Amino acid sequence: MQSSLSLSLSPAIVSRSHPSFTVSSVKPLNLSFCGLRREALGLGFATSLNRNLRQLPRRQHSAVVTAAASDNGSTSGSFDYDLLIIGAGVGGHGAALHAVEKGLKTAIVEGDVVGGTCVNRGCVPSKALLAASGRMRELKSDHHLKSLGIHVSAAEYDRQGVADHANNLASKIRSNLTNSLKAIGVDILTGFGTIVGPQKVKIGSSNSIVTAKDIIIATGSVPFVPKGVEVDGKTVITSDHALKLESVPDWIAIVGSGYIGLEFSDVYTALGSEVTFVEALDQLMPGFDPEISKLAQRVLVNPRNIDYHTGVFASKITPARDGKPVLIELIDAKTKEPKDTLEVDAALIATGRAPFTQGLGLENVDVATQRGFVPVDERMRVIDANGKLVPHLFCIGDANGKMMLAHAASAQGISVVEQVTGRDHVLNHLSIPAACFTHPEISMVGLTEPQAREKGEKEGFEVSVAKTSFKANTKALAENEGEGLAKLIYRPDNGEILGVHIFGLHAADLIHEASNAIALGTRIQDIKLAVHAHPTLSEVLDELFKSAKVKAHASIPVSEPVAV
């Protein structure tokens, strides 16, 4: 699950407990791999760390985590480690695996559980809920099934069974990630890490100090709860609570219509709830390309049991108590005048996420956060209060606020490791894709059309747009899923891809051809020569690139034919 793009975030005020730590060793397996590409080993993927103490027990005793140091590189000089990572979510995990691959002696500090938000309270359990609710939506769609010649009796679901599916998946992936770190000899230090000086981190509440040549902050984020909202965890909830699926309310208000809000609206409506969106901006889905938002609203909102209020703030939300429903007081987002009061069974706060950086000890290295985010440059190097780089200190993922996505955190972590091992690397964030796992899905990479046109006006180049419909794709029609659109934003003078946006069946999988092209600098005139299997959904992208009108010719030379 991804973060909402519609509202600015404020720092999360969270206290931190500090247990002591010990490390024991086991014999490591001789495995070497990078990132989270561990499907062959049964491993999944995670996201950046979320240590919301409203859900974390305070540890008053020391903890033991097994790890192996014998094959985990060797430090030069007097440091305990070459690299110390604070946080074992996606960013920390990806950086740790890449560091060991590069020969660095590595440790990772974790005050909660390995996997961070994505595995434990985010994208992994949410996809399990979306998978189950998506099956329910399909089984309840008589028109769709009849068009395929299928007739089914009334479908039912077991709420606890759906919840167990999400929880079991999270447990399995969490175990896989932990084992992957142990297998390559990454030391897992249990306890909250606090920076006490240059290249020094205290682990837990003891006086144990660990030194490292380089340190990466990867502490992630927590759900952002606006002022005036009282969360009780039962009738007024955040995404952390919603993923437990302890109830399916008859009527739930979702505050925020970004990624988080949209995905949960998909889950709740499929399971029988009525949904009301409360959005501060003037339109739903404000973070998406406007044309995609318009189509998505027509498919994902209008036909479903959903209504919405836009241009309003939820100034006060009171949980249900004493037989009274949840009360939501709405005010005009611009004038702040009272607008309406909603009475619902439950309210989900989906207004984005706030960085979890309180108590990190940043003041000990003269770093001041900005709205809770750790300031960094384009190489993820931390910047102090005087605008100078803090030597050997980096920050990745949600904690720096550059791009609050799980895979962005991992990519940033890998980029940092490249730098500390001698290869300069700057990550192109415009090449990082994003996805919303509704039914059908939404995905995007690069600039929206308004952003691209603004850039074109400033820099003096023309912007063109090409579009293709899923209705023209054989595979989509075979699935009777022709509702969808792919949109390409590009420069017609040189074929540069500025952005690609997809709404339709398996959009989250299709976007990577475009994101990889942007990352590699591949031009449209060259992609047009690529071959796609028929009949597949990938031909949606094939037709999209072929429909673009580029003035430049192909830059890739055609190789000699090979006899087969």
> Tell me: the pLDDT tens digits for 393-429?
999 999 999 999 999 999 999 999 999 999 999 999 9
Residues 6+ apart with CB under 8 A from 65: 21, 23, 24, 187, 188, 189, 190
User: What sign does the dihedral 91-97-98-99 (CA atoms) show?
Assistant: positive
Tokens of 1: 């699950």
CA distance 86 to 217: 5
Residues 6+ apart with CB under 8 A from 227: none
Q: From start to end of 377-509, where are the E strands? A: 381-383, 389-395, 434-436, 441-446, 464-469, 485-490, 497-504
C-alpha dist (Å) from residue 251 to 275, 277, 306, 342, 524: 6, 11, 10, 11, 47
Buried b / exposed e over 144-167, threshold 16 CB at 10 Å, is eeeeeeeeeeeeebeeeebbebbb
Q: What one-character DSSP code corresponds to residue 28?
A: P
ω into residue 440 within 30 of 0, thus cis? yes
CA distance 204 to 188: 13
CA distance 93 to 150: 44
Q: Give the H/E segment covering residue 378.
A: none
- Whole-number pLDDT of residue 457: 98
Q: Give the H/E segment covering residue 260.
A: helix 259-270
Tokens of 524: 């449209």
Tally of CB atoms within 10 A around 5? 17
**Domain covering 236-351 assigned CATH 3.50.50.60 in the classification:** yes
- Whether 105 and 83 have beta carbons less than 8 Å apart is answered as yes
Pairing label, strands 209-217, 497-504: unpaired
CA distance 456 to 2: 29
Tens digit of each residue's pLDDT (9 = 90 or more) over 501-531: 999 999 999 999 999 999 999 999 999 999 9
- Indicate which residue of 93, 151, 439, 534 is catalytic: 534
Classify domain 81-222+355-421 by CATH number: 3.50.50.60
What is the Cα gyration radius of the chain?
Answer: 24
**Under CATH, domain 429-547 is a member of which superfamily?**
FAD/NAD-linked reductase, C-terminal dimerisation domain (3.30.390.30)
Q: What is the pLDDT along the chain (564 residues), one digit of tens a residue?
A: 333 333 333 333 333 333 333 333 333 332 222 333 332 233 332 333 233 333 333 323 333 343 443 355 556 568 999 999 999 998 999 999 999 999 999 999 998 888 888 888 888 999 999 999 999 999 988 888 888 898 888 889 999 999 999 999 999 999 999 999 999 999 999 999 999 999 999 998 777 999 999 999 999 999 999 999 999 999 999 999 999 999 999 999 999 999 999 999 999 999 999 999 999 999 999 999 999 999 999 999 999 999 999 999 999 999 999 999 999 999 999 999 999 999 999 999 999 999 999 999 999 999 999 999 999 999 999 999 999 999 999 999 999 999 999 999 999 999 999 999 999 999 999 999 999 999 999 999 999 999 999 999 999 999 999 999 999 999 999 999 999 999 999 999 999 999 999 999 999 999 999 999 999 999 999 999 999 999 999 999 999 999 999 997 866 554 455 555
Residue 98 a catalytic site member = no
Q: What one-character DSSP code corresponds to residue 283?
A: S
Matching fold, domains 236-351 and 429-547: no
Tens digit of each residue's pLDDT (9 = 90 or more) over 108-147: 999 888 888 888 888 899 999 999 999 999 998 888 888 8
Polymer length in residues for the chain: 564
**What global pTM score does this model have?**
0.85
CA distance 50 to 240: 10
**Residue 351 corresponds to which amino acid?**
T
Residue 97: what are its φ and ψ, rounded to 5°?
-60, -40
Q: What residues does each domain of the chain span?
A: 81-222+355-421, 236-351, 429-547
Pairing label, strands 209-217, 389-395: parallel
Tokens of 347: 């309210």
The residue assigned the tokens 């995609």 is 292
Q: Give the H/E segment covering residue 193.
A: strand 193-197
Q: What is the dihedral of CA 283, 284, 288, 291, to 10 degrees?
A: -70
Residues 6+ apart with CB under 8 A from 378: 426, 427
3-state secondary structure 471-530: HHCHHHHHCCCCCCEEEEEECCCCCCEEEEEEEECCHHHHCHHHHHHHHHCCCHHHHCCC
C-alpha dist (Å) from residue 552 to 22, 474, 493, 526, 548: 61, 30, 6, 10, 11
- Whether 303 and 483 have beta carbons less than 8 Å apart is answered as no
Q: Please, what is the Cα angle at 405 between 16 and 116, to 5 degrees? A: 35
Tens digit of each residue's pLDDT (9 = 90 or more) over 426-436: 999 999 999 99
- Whole-number pLDDT of residue 58: 31
Positions at the binding site for NAD(+): 256-263, 279, 352
Buried b / exposed e over 105-134, threshold 16 CB at 10 Å, is bbbbbbbbbbbbbbbbbbbbbbbbbbbbbb
Closest by Cα among 157, 149, 147, 181 to 46: 181
172: exposed, middle or buried (Cβ count in 10 Å: 0-12, 13-18, 19+): middle
Residues 6+ apart with CB under 8 A from 16: 51, 53, 111, 192, 194, 358, 359
ω into residue 391 within 30 of 0, thus cis? no
Positions at the binding site for FAD: 127, 193, 219-221, 398, 404-407
Q: Which ranges of 51-158 would DSSP assign to H, the alpha helix?
A: 90-101, 116-121, 123-140, 142-147
CA distance 476 to 470: 6
CA distance 229 to 405: 25
CA distance 343 to 363: 44
Tally of CB atoms within 10 A around 414? 22
Q: Give the H/E segment covering residue 317.
A: strand 312-318
